[in-house]
Structure formats: C-alpha cells, structure tokens
C-alpha cells in the first residue's frame, strides 16, 4: 500500500502551533523577519533522482522512507505567513533523511510507530531571511 501511495503522500504538509513556536525560538532570523505571530507550514518532498526507491521494506528495519547515502534527497520547505505575507517560502533545506518505522494495520486503520529518524548532509538552498552560518542543521532537525 505504501509503495502505491508514495506519490500521493508527498509532498507532505505539516503545520502545528507548538512546532511553529519552537522553530521561531530556535531560528531567531525567521522570527525577526516575520514576527512572533508568524504561522509556519512545512512541506516535505522526496527526490529519488530516478535511481532509488523512496520507500523500501525489509525484515530488519520494517519500512524505510528516504535514505542517507546521497541517493535520495529530502527537500524541506519552510513556508511562512503573517499579516502582510501569505505562504512565502522563506527557507528551503535539502538533506538525506532516513526514517525507520513500522505500523500495525487493524480494521483497515494504520497505526504507525516511528523508530528512528536520521538527518545527514543538510544544506540551506534558499534563504530570504539571512540565516546565520553557525547552525548545525543535521542535529537540530534530527
């Protein structure tokens, strides 16, 4: 089901108030540019460059989304809105993200359990707010 659904799952959109506040508190440049009342949406997409499978299965790890061996690139867009700006892509990150999870299917309802997320090779590819070069994105996103 996940192999077939992969194209409809991505890009994945995520927006949640606590995550927005944590992001604004961590990345002061975004807060300074858009204000403390900014709303942040995250869009995650995967580019497999036509050579790899973005979703794989095995008996050791269960389901793996992404990869950390440079064969699959995860793109994270940080989309910000405030009183004067609507859905501006403020930042774009590219990285190699590997997410290991399993799930239980009961009565046709999927109950996922994320076991591990690893982020590697993160680079900032779009920046409209003037981010500091001092951030260690791999550890922050992991």
For residues 135-140, average pLDDT: 91
Model-level pTM?
0.80
Q: What average pLDDT does the chain have? A: 86
Identify the burial level of 46 via C-beta atoms within 10 angstroms of its C-beta, where 0-12 means exposed, 13-18 middle and 19 or more buried.
buried
The pLDDT of residue 10 is 74
Handedness of CA 78, 126, 82, 33 (dihedral sign): positive
The pLDDT of residue 26 is 93
How many distinct structural domains can be found in the chain?
1
The Cα 51–Cα 42 span in angstroms is: 26
The pLDDT of residue 56 is 79
- Please provide the DSSP assignment of 16-70 as one string: -HHHHHHHHHH-HHHHHHH-TT-EEEEEEEEE-TTTS-SEEEETTTEEEEE-SSS
* pLDDT confidence tier of residue 1, bands split at 50, 70 and 90: low
* pLDDT confidence tier of residue 6, bands split at 50, 70 and 90: low
By three-state DSSP, how is residue 1 classified? Answer: coil
Q: What is the pLDDT of residues 45-73, one digit of tens each?
A: 888 777 667 777 888 888 887 776 677 88
Q: What is the pLDDT of residues 20-34, one digit of tens each?
A: 999 999 999 999 999
**What is the domain extent for residue 128?**
2-141
Beta carbons within 10 angstroms of residue 21's beta carbon: 14
């Amino acid at each position: 089901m996940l192999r077939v659904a992969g194209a409809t799952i991505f890009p994945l959109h995520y927006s949640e108030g606590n995550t927005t506040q944590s992001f604004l508190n961590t990345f002061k440049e975004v807060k300074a540019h858009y204000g403390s009342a900014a709303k942040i949406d995250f869009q995650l997409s995967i580019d497999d460059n036509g050579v790899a499978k973005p979703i794989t299965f095995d008996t050791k790890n269960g389901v793996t989304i992404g990869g950390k061996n440079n064969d699959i690139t995860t793109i994270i867009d940080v989309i910000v809105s405030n009183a004067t700006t609507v859905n501006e892509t403020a930042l774009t990150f590219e990285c190699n993200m590997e997410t290991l999870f399993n799930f239980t299917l009961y009565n046709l309802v999927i109950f996922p359990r994320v076991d591990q997320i690893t982020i590697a090779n993160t680079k900032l590819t779009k920046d409209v707010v003037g981010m500091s070069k001092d951030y260690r994105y791999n550890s922050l996103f992991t």
